[in-house]
Amino acid sequence: MSSPVASTVGAEGRRERWIAIGYLLPALIVFGLFIFWPLVKSILLSVQGTDILGNPSGFVGAVNYTRLFSDPDFLQVLWVTFAFTVLTVIPSIAIALLIALLLQGRIRGVRFFRTAFALPFAFSVATASVIFGVLFNPASGVLNGILSHLGIDKVQWLTNPDLALWSVSGATVWMQIGYNLLVLSAGLGALPEDILEAARLDGASGLRLQRSIVMPLLTPQLFFLVVVGTIHSLQSFGQIKILTVGGPEDRTTTLVYSIYEQAFANNNSNYGYASAQAMVLLVIVLIITALQFGVLERKVFYR
Amino acid sequence: MKSRRFANLGSYLILGVLFLVVLFPVYYGLVGSLMGERDTNSFPPALWPKNGIHPENYSKALDIIPLGNQYLTSVLQTLGITLGQMVTSALAAYAFVFLNLRWRAFWFGVFLSTMMIPFESIIIPNYLLISQWGLKDTIAGLTLPFLATGFGTFLLRQSFLSFPMELRDAARVDGAGHFRFLFSILLPLSRPSLAALGIWSALSAWNMYFWPLLATEDPKHQTIQIGISQLQSSDSDSPGMVLAGVMLALFPTLLLVIFGQRFIVRGLTAGAVK
């Protein structure tokens, strides 16, 4: 930091250091109170028992954690979370990619289509879930209405144990398409025109051009979406609370929903056990983030 | 040439099908909010209003839940979080770019780490803290945990970095202090990035679900998002009214996405700081 205003040395310089801390301070106070202190508190809660009123009842060591991994219910929670993540991340990226590639061609009304396809992005988890709740309604919902025209019996979208997770995932895929499309369209828009032109001159076109030129150039965006989408899916809560309340038979109880259930539903106040689950969530997300920064990023094609 | 035209036709066809499927929930949300029970509760249900348009769905939705209150709560929460994030991010980004900050790399890491911790994993202590402070059912309880973001700080930092140093030094020579330089020169010149931050903050604040569900109990103090999700469970016999509530909650963000797309795209990649 060399400033032509020769005052950043000596007393003046020391003053500026304090001023700098002062400018960081408002954000640091918020982070300290609502991120870092709660983080410490979560770890502390996770190694304590909890009494009926929800107060910590003393140090129990790793008991909450050993209970977690011997609890068949929790193993199911992990499986559901994994399945939900796979069922949402991959289809939502694939569909968005298809739309983005189609919109990239010389198609009339591109601007209209772009805006229209981005609309799901405006929906909150609550607004989208309530609409899907209406569509999924077994007695009078549109989905069963359409199926009835094809001669198919009414489907219990949200109460059939084998189907509920698929239905909630389907709604979630819809919620994520808008964001994925924005990222991929931005990536496609920034593709180097000279490379595309050179490939066209060499006779590459259509699918060949997409597969051999466009896709490799898009890998940074696709990789980014896999990471962000996975973390986003792991954090999903609203659609499960609104559509299935974790059921039927806990078959849609994901990790975050399980934390909510243990800590807050029916005045359970089981903060110790719920905090141990929260730490599992934290560790999973941190591992994925570390993967992003470390190992995998090097294999992605950057120019 | 013939095969290309054929391929083009195929593209339009696939795009058309995708358009119908992806936009159907949007269409049905809007049209359904105007349909009466004769249309929505018959089987198979109508796909457009066959038996007249029923705008009274909207007034019914407003009657059943204290939607007026909830709208105001959502607006205040969104304004508070958006303005708060803009101010704390601008100050912090200024320190990172223009001030002689010691341990810069360390503080950078601190800000970066806040983006890696999922809020759901620390939501229990936050809930306990807000309850302990007696802030449940208040705007303060809804906004305080979100008044600063690493995302916003890095977004503005990126924009500040491209600010010409000569201009900055000229302003300093003319006697503008840090505070005045930041607020009357730097920020006005960083409007596109500020707008991007503002739109992202507003979208995420308005659309929040988990935290307001915990931080409020009294229906009068709940946000619109919680309100409409309870509208659904309180009256599943009137989908039209439920969808009317949804449309009311959706209106502001729909406008933001349609008219603010440019700024949203600008903020997309700022989250991925290297």
Tell me, what's the pLDDT at A104? 81
* Distance of alpha carbon A89 from alpha carbon A223, whole angstroms: 11
pLDDT tens, residue by residue, A254-279:
999 999 999 998 888 899 999 999 99
Q: Under an 8 A CB cutoff, do A124 and B173 touch?
A: no
DSSP of B178-197: HHHHIIIIIHHHTHHHHHHH
Residue B272's pLDDT band, with cuts at 50, 70 and 90, is very low
- Per cent of chain A over pLDDT 70 is 92
Which residues make beta-bridge pairs with A56? A50
Q: What is the nearest CA distance from A122 to chain B, expressed in angstroms?
A: 5
Residues of A in contact with B169 (CB under 8 A): 3-5
Report which of B64, B74, B73 is spatially closest to residue B253, judged by C-alpha positions.
B74
Q: Residue A256 in contact with residue A236, Cβ under 8 Å? A: yes
Counted across chains A and B, CB pairs separated by less than 8 A come out at 277
Q: Under an 8 A CB cutoff, do A3 and B89 touch?
A: no
- Does the pLDDT of residue A4 top 70, yes or no? no
Of A144, A238, A289, the CB nearest to B210: A238
Tell me, what's the pLDDT at A178? 92
The whole-number average pLDDT for the span B101-130 is 94
Report which of A92, A110, A241 is spatially closest to residue B226, judged by C-alpha positions.
A241
Residue A295's pLDDT band, with cuts at 50, 70 and 90, is low
Angle subtended by helix axes B104-114 and A10-31, to nearest 10: 10
Q: Residue A61 in contact with residue A242, Cβ under 8 Å? A: no
Which residues make beta-bridge pairs with A50? A56
Run of H or E including A48: strand A48-50
Please check whether residue B10 touches A, CB under 8 A.
Answer: no
Which residues between 139 and 178 in chain A have a beta carbon less than 8 angstroms from any beta carbon of chain B?
Answer: 139-142, 144-146, 148-149, 174, 177-178
Q: How far apart are the first and last CA of chain B?
A: 45
Ramachandran angles phi, psi of A213, nearest 5°? -115, -55
Buried b (16+ CB within 10 A) or exposed e, B65-85: bbbebbbebbeebbbbbbebb
ipTM of model: 0.92
Q: Where are the domains of chain B?
A: 2-59, 63-271
Q: What is the nearest CA distance from A123 to chain B, expressed in angstroms?
A: 7
Report which of A196, A190, A24, A177 is spatially closest to residue A92, judged by C-alpha positions.
A177
Of A122, A127, A278, the CB nearest to B257: A122
Query: pTM of the full predicted structure?
Result: 0.91
Q: Residue A143 in contact with residue A155, Cβ under 8 Å? A: yes
Length of chain B: 274
Q: Under an 8 A CB cutoff, do B213 and A37 touch?
A: no
Please check whether residue A129 touches B, CB under 8 A.
Answer: yes
Task: Decide if domain B63-271 falls under CATH 3.40.1190.20.
Answer: no
Residues 6+ apart with CB under 8 A from B171: B181, B185
* Distance of alpha carbon B140 from alpha carbon B81, whole angstroms: 10
Count of beta carbons in the 10 Å neighbourhood of residue A81: 22
The whole-number average pLDDT for the span B113-141 is 96
- Does the pLDDT of residue B99 top 80, yes or no? yes
Q: Which amino acid is at B245?
A: G
Residues of B in contact with A129 (CB under 8 A): 229
Count of beta carbons in the 10 Å neighbourhood of residue A72: 7
pLDDT tens, residue by residue, A119-137:
999 999 999 999 999 999 9
Ramachandran angles phi, psi of B136, nearest 5°? -65, 150
Q: What is the nearest CA distance from B97 to chain A, expressed in angstroms?
A: 10
The whole-number average pLDDT for the span A286-297 is 78
Lookup: tokens for B234: 């309180």
Tell me, what's the pLDDT at B169? 84
pLDDT tens, residue by residue, A161-220:
999 999 999 999 999 999 999 999 888 888 887 887 787 777 766 777 777 778 888 888
- Does the pLDDT of residue B122 top 90, yes or no? yes
Tell me, what's the pLDDT at A298? 58
Residues 6+ apart with CB under 8 A from A193: none
Question: C-alpha angle with apex B26: B225 to A246, nearest 5 degrees?
Answer: 50
Residues 6+ apart with CB under 8 A from A279: A42, A43, A46, B121
Whether residue B44 has a cis bond before it, omega within 30° of 0: yes
* Distance of alpha carbon B222 from alpha carbon B184, whole angstroms: 37
Whether residue A38 has a cis bond before it, omega within 30° of 0: no
Map out the domains of chain A with their CATH numbers.
10-59 (no CATH), 71-299 (1.10.3720.10)
- Per cent of chain B over pLDDT 90 is 60
Inter-CA distances, A13 with A10, A18, B92, B100, Å? 5, 9, 18, 7
- Does the pLDDT of residue B1 top 70, yes or no? no
The whole-number average pLDDT for the span B77-86 is 97
- Does the pLDDT of residue B60 top 70, yes or no? yes
Count of beta carbons in the 10 Å neighbourhood of residue B165: 10
Tell me, what's the pLDDT at B6? 61
Q: What is the nearest CA distance from B173 to chain A, expressed in angstroms?
A: 8
The whole-number average pLDDT for the span A106-111 is 76
Q: Under an 8 A CB cutoff, do A131 and B243 touch?
A: yes
Q: Residue B203 in contact with residue B115, Cβ under 8 Å? A: no
Angle subtended by helix axes A72-104 and A164-189, to nearest 10: 40
Residue B269's pLDDT band, with cuts at 50, 70 and 90, is low
* Distance of alpha carbon B90 from alpha carbon B187, whole angstroms: 8
Least confident of A6-20, B12-26, B74-88, B183-197: A6-20
The whole-number average pLDDT for the span A208-237 is 88
Count of H helices and E strands in chain B?
16, 0
Tell me, what's the pLDDT at B4? 58
Inter-CA distances, A289 with A226, A265, B33, B116, Å? 11, 30, 41, 7
Residue B63 buriedness (CB in 10 A; 0-12 / 13-18 / 19+): exposed
Which residues between 109 and 138 in chain B have a beta carbon less than 8 angstroms from any beta carbon of chain A?
Answer: 110-111, 114, 116-129
Of A118, A127, A256, the CB nearest to B246: A127
CA A203 to chain centre: 40
Lookup: tokens for A301: 């094609």
Lookup: tokens for B13: 């066809």
Across all residues in chain A, what is the average pLDDT?
88
Ramachandran angles phi, psi of B35, nearest 5°? -95, 145
Inter-CA distances, B234 with B101, B121, B207, Å? 55, 30, 21
Residues 6+ apart with CB under 8 A from B233: none
Residues of B in contact with A142 (CB under 8 A): 28, 44-45, 47
Q: What is the nearest CA distance from B214 to chain A, expressed in angstroms?
A: 8
Residues 6+ apart with CB under 8 A from A179: A121
pLDDT tens, residue by residue, A16-43:
889 999 999 999 999 999 999 999 999 9
Across all residues in chain B, what is the average pLDDT?
89
Please check whether residue B168 touches A, CB under 8 A.
Answer: no
Run of H or E including B157: helix B150-161
Please check whether residue B106 touches A, CB under 8 A.
Answer: no
